[in-house]
Amino acid sequence: MVSKVDVAVIGAGPAGLAAAISARERGAERVIIIERAERLGGLLPQCVHNGFGLLYFEKDMTGPEYEKAFVDKANSLKVEFMLETMVIDLNEEGMLTVVNRQQGYKKIKPGAIVLAMGCRERPRGALGIPGERPAGIFTAGTCQRFVNVEGFMPGSRYVVLGSGDIGMIMARRLTLEGAKVEAVVEIMPWPGGLIRNEVQCLHDFGIRLLLEHTITFIHGKRRIKGVTVAKVDRDLRPIKGTERFFPCDCLLISAGLIPENELSKKAGIELDLVTGGPVVDQNRQTSVPGIFAGGNVVQVHDLVDWVSWEAELAGAAAASYADKGKIKRADQIRMVAGENIKYVVPQYISGKDDVTLHLRVSRPGLRANLKVGNILSKRFRSVRPSEMIILDIKAEKLRDARTLKELVVDCKLEGGD
Amino acid sequence: MRERSKSLWLIASSREVIKVSRREIVICIGCPMGCRVTVTLGKDGSVTTLKGAECRQGQKYVLNELKNPLRTLTATVRTVDEDFPLLPVRSSRPVPKTLLQPIMRETARIRIKTPVQAGDVVARNVQGSKADLLATTDWSGPGGEG
Ligand code: SF4
């Protein structure tokens, strides 16, 4: 056993760093971040593009700059780090089992835990594309690591499947590095990533975005030689006769991110089937007391700024928990995703305090009317599944809802698609 | 005029653009709202109306986007350090969109010695843009953090 740890944070990406900083600021004495990689920052070092920090710092920063701001702060607050350390188990009592080369196998029982493991990319296997199994198929994030950190180009002619943000950002990056991006292929009728990425990464460089298209065949025996792309119908089935061949020597997959919750499952934490992350209350406490969660492990965010914000909530709550032995659960009202709402986080709120809801719509459209029970309604000129909606609700507004068990959130579209 | 319509074509959503020089839709990327801004242009190419921008900053962006689209360039340059082969860099200010690729070509030959600190100038006044390329991270050698 080690000396007492107040708050242990799992993961040293943007969420973990923000959680640890806020735990220290809330008075937790010993805060440790446990990270399996050899360095801090999670994915930030490989995200060399800008667009970070616009909300948090009101500054347009690159990934490495955003990382540095948090790492410097964590260091100045004497946050401790255990790098190259794997958490192999987490149980319901909040006991962590970790391994690393220096200390071997070790158990830690901190006062509170923050889960900040982030998310993973959906791999090709999960998509089930027919065809050969040649070399040259990568997730967009893996390619990003090759190109931005390790320093080599995995190919010269690319097709990107899925229009997630990393895929679009890589399409621009590869074009700037001299490669040709033949097309970005998106099965849905709308792009999967942010508008600014659609504009600045694709339109700026004349890169084709094929909406309502998918890859129906991968060609090539040893190395990928090309893909067959077809238009899809309303049920997302390929339409016969619309097939086109695109030559390429690399296929990138950018088909969404999945919160990484292997440890959460081991601890018996209740997961939300839609977000893929733990069910949390307003303070980001999970169903297991003393275990908190923040960032992409809870819900996949569009902007790192909100990752930091959410992790700060979790970190601050974890610090109070470590101090007092427990904190009141904020789970008086359950938030329910109603019409055209995919999910709402947090899943539970107290009804007594101000709260910020994060939610996504299922379908895009114009002139949307968003309603939270009958306590709040807000109009939006347009909504898109890829742009998270942030809604602040003041405690006074919730006064009437306090006797309720549930609050349903709806988003009616009045202007069509 | 032709040049202008072409750049508008590139920045506007391919689904919504109306390909006459009189009326254009520009998507503002000033914030995640992504306002679709409709601009009508007079015969001489001057802006007559501008609708759909939720804020003034967005209006300014759209007008500028019609006149002189600027982008912050982010990229990497090579180092001579095996443990840290690439240094992430950014332009110290936004540069004209048309200069992005020429700057990439100009800086492809650069080799950086480590250690290096965020903010260090990697190349000055790239392609006459008045922007410098700046390092965006620290690297103090193997074992050095971040
Ligand atoms: S016009 Fe204003 S509100 Fe609309 S996208 Fe641009 S910056 Fe955002």
Q: Which residues of B touch A45 (CB under 8 A)?
A: 88, 137, 146
Q: Which residues of B touch A302 (CB under 8 A)?
A: 32
When pLDDT is cut at 50, 70 and 90, the band that residue A63 belongs to is very high
End-to-end CA distance of chain B: 48
When pLDDT is cut at 50, 70 and 90, the band that residue B7 belongs to is very low
pLDDT at B42: 81
Task: Please tell me the CATH superfamily of domain A2-120+257-324, with its number.
Answer: FAD/NAD(P)-binding domain (3.50.50.60)
* ipTM (interface pTM): 0.87
Residue length, chain A? Answer: 417
What percent helix, strand, coil does chain A show, rounded to 5? 25, 35, 45
Distance in angstroms (rounded) separating the CA atoms of residues A415 and A366:
5
Residue A258: C-alpha distances to residues A20, A143, A255, B22 (Å): 23, 18, 10, 45
| Single-letter code of the amino acid located at A175 | T
Which protein residue's CA is at the shortest distance from atom 1 of ligand 1? B58
Interacting residues of B86 by C-beta distance below 8 A, sequence separation 6+: A148, A149, A150, A151, B76, B77, B78, B79
Task: Say yes or no to pLDDT of A13 above 60.
Answer: yes
pLDDT at A146: 96
Q: Bridge-partner residues for A218, per DSSP?
A: A131, A227
Task: Say yes or no to pLDDT of B143 above 60.
Answer: no
A63 touches chain B (CB under 8 A): yes
Task: Identify the CATH number of the domain defined by range A123-253.
Answer: 3.50.50.60
Task: Say yes or no to pLDDT of B90 above 80.
Answer: yes
The model's pLDDT over A130-169, given as tens digits with 9 standing for 90+, comes to 888 899 999 999 999 999 999 999 999 999 999 999 999 9
Task: Say yes or no to pLDDT of A171 above 50.
Answer: yes
According to CATH, where is 3.10.530.10 located in chain B?
74-135
When pLDDT is cut at 50, 70 and 90, the band that residue B88 belongs to is very high
Binary contact (A194, B27; C-beta < 8 A): no
Enter the pTM of the model.
0.88
Q: Which residues of B touch A381 (CB under 8 A)?
A: 33, 35, 54
Q: Out of A58-67, A147-156, B20-29, which region has the weakest mean confidence (pLDDT)?
A: B20-29
End-to-end CA distance of chain A: 58
B83 burial level (CB within 10 Å; 0-12, 13-18, 19+): exposed
In this structure, the number of other CB atoms found within 10 A of the CB of residue A71 comes to 23
Binary contact (B86, A151; C-beta < 8 A): yes
When pLDDT is cut at 50, 70 and 90, the band that residue B129 belongs to is very high
H/E stretch holding A185 reads strand A180-186
In this structure, the number of other CB atoms found within 10 A of the CB of residue B112 comes to 20
The model's pLDDT over A193-242, given as tens digits with 9 standing for 90+, comes to 888 899 999 989 999 999 999 999 999 999 999 999 999 999 999 999 99
When pLDDT is cut at 50, 70 and 90, the band that residue A119 belongs to is very high
Top pLDDT among A123 and A191 is at A191
Distance in angstroms (rounded) separating the CA atoms of residues A357 and A410:
13
In percent, the amount of chain B with pLDDT more than 90 equals: 50
Which protein residue's CA is at the shortest distance from atom 8 of ligand 1? B31
Q: In the predicted model, what is the mean pLDDT of residues B88-95?
A: 96
H/E stretch holding B78 reads strand B74-79
A151 touches chain B (CB under 8 A): yes
Task: Say yes or no to pLDDT of B17 above 70.
Answer: no
Q: Mean pLDDT, chain A, as a whole number? A: 93
Distance in angstroms (rounded) separating the CA atoms of residues A102 and A130:
45
Domains of chain A, by residue range, sit at 2-120+257-324, 123-253, 333-413
Interacting residues of A100 by C-beta distance below 8 A, sequence separation 6+: A82, A84, A85, A86, A106
Binary contact (A45, B137; C-beta < 8 A): yes
State which CATH number among 3.40.220.10, 3.40.605.10, 3.90.480.10, 3.10.530.10 fits the domain covering B74-135: 3.10.530.10
Size of interface A-B (CB pairs under 8 A): 101
Interacting residues of A152 by C-beta distance below 8 A, sequence separation 6+: A146
Q: Which long-range contacts (CB under 8 A, 24 or more apart) does B138-143 make?
A: B138/A68, B139/B79, B139/B81, B139/B84, B139/B87, B139/B114, B139/B115, B140/B114, B140/B115, B141/B81, B141/B83, B141/B84, B141/B114, B141/B115, B142/B83
Of A54, A67, A203, the CB nearest to B11: A203
pLDDT at A416: 62
| Single-letter code of the amino acid located at A337 | A
Top pLDDT among A401 and A371 is at A371
